[in-house]
């Protein structure tokens, strides 16, 4: 796996699992799909070659005496790929557990010789009709009310959107503009349906989505990425497939702990 491929896959992985919209406005604000202590491990592989690992975990934290939930996504190369082109990408989000909106996000990127460190603060209360984002790299930005960062929207999607999956029809497109890589990042996600899939953790039923992709250097069509979320009350992403010019890369669930509900793995 080349460094450019890994970089683009990591970016797509993050954007895909976090693409949400206020499609179901009547959804409950109570958090039921996730909890602090949750930890999920994925591997990235190309055929039999494992080129990367991604860990996503959520813990309790505090800031100025206020309880926050701290999410960390840690992606890195492993094995031969790591020897050829080392990558260590860390994304952090400090989330208000009541509104599920981000308070602060951190992007810490190390890809070969490239380095990027960025902190963004989110102010959701000063302006009644919009949010104020303060980036230590690009300054102040005014964005839409209720905007998420790339990790908080993932949890919002699981807790606010997927519990109402019966209201989403096959072919419906879910769209949001989120804050990613220090810019507004619109993403569209088409619902394909549900199916039973195999993962390294076992066989399970999942909801299938196709996020829109940009045709060009990596992708041939606008539907060359597929993501599956577990069809239970956890709604965790369990598998992602990237179809690019050189073949198919897979991101697969390997292990998990701290879920609110038992993952509904099919018995053999």
Rounded distance between C-alpha atoms, residue 268 and residue 256, angstroms: 19
Residue 265 lies in a domain: no
The boundaries of the domain holding residue 40 are 3-257
Residue 148 inside a domain? The answer is yes
d(CA 220, CA 166): 31
For residue 268, tell me if it sits in a domain. Answer: no
Query: Residues near 198 by Cβ (< 8 Å), separated by ≥ 6?
Result: none
Domain membership of residue 144 (yes or no) is yes
Q: In the chain, what is the straight-line distance between the N-terminal and C-terminal CA atoms, in Å?
A: 33
One digit per residue, the tens of pLDDT, for the chain of length 268 reads 555 655 555 555 555 554 433 343 334 458 899 999 999 999 999 888 899 999 999 999 998 889 999 999 999 999 988 999 999 999 999 999 999 999 999 999 999 999 999 999 999 999 999 999 999 999 999 999 989 998 998 898 899 989 999 999 999 988 777 899 999 987 778 899 999 999 989 999 999 998 876 655 555 555 678 899 999 999 999 999 887 655 678 899 999 999 999 999 986 5
Task: Establish if 264 belongs to a structural domain.
Answer: no
Decide: 122 and 131 in contact? Cβ < 8 Å: yes
Decide if 183 is inside a domain.
Answer: yes
User: Rounded CA gap, 182 and 201, in Å?
Assistant: 34
Number of domains into which the chain is organized: 1
Determine the Cα–Cα distance for residues 136 and 124; give it in Å rounded to an integer.
18
Q: How far apart are CA 162 and CA 164, in angstroms?
A: 5
Kindly state whether residue 139 falls inside one of the protein's structural domains: yes
The answer to the question of residue 263 being in a domain is: no
Give the residues across from 108 on adjacent strands: 90, 117
pTM of the predicted model, to two decimals? 0.85
Here the CATH number for the domain that contains residue 217 is 2.40.360
């Amino acid at each position: 796996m080349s460094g450019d491929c890994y970089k683009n896959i990591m970016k797509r992985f993050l954007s895909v699992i976090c693409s949400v919209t206020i499609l179901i406005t009547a959804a409950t604000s109570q958090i039921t799909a996730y909890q602090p202590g949750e930890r999920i491990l994925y591997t990235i592989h190309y055929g039999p070659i494992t080129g990367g690992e991604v860990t996503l975990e959520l813990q309790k934290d505090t800031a100025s005496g206020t309880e926050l939930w701290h999410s960390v996504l840690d992606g890195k190369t492993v094995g031969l790929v790591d020897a050829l082109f080392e990558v260590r990408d860390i994304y952090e989000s400090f989330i208000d557990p009541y509104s599920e909106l981000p308070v602060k996000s951190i992007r810490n990127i190390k890809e070969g010789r490239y380095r990027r460190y960025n902190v963004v603060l989110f102010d959701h209360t000063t302006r009644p009709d919009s949010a104020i984002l303060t980036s230590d790299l690009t300054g102040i930005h005014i964005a839409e009310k209720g905007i998420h960062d790339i990790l908080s929207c993932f949890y919002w999607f699981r807790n606010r959107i997927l519990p109402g999956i019966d209201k989403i029809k096959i072919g419906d497109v879910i769209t949001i503009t989120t804050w990613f890589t220090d810019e507004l990042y619109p993403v569209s996600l088409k619902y394909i349906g549900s199916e039973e899939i195999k993962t390294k953790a076992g066989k399970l039923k999942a909801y299938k989505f196709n996020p829109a992709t940009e045709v060009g250097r990596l992708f041939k069509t606008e539907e060359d990425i597929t993501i599956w979320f577990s069809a239970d009350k956890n709604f965790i992403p369990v598998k992602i497939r990237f179809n690019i010019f050189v073949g198919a890369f897979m991101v697969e669930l390997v292990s998990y702990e701290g879920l609110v509900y038992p993952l509904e793995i099919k018995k053999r």
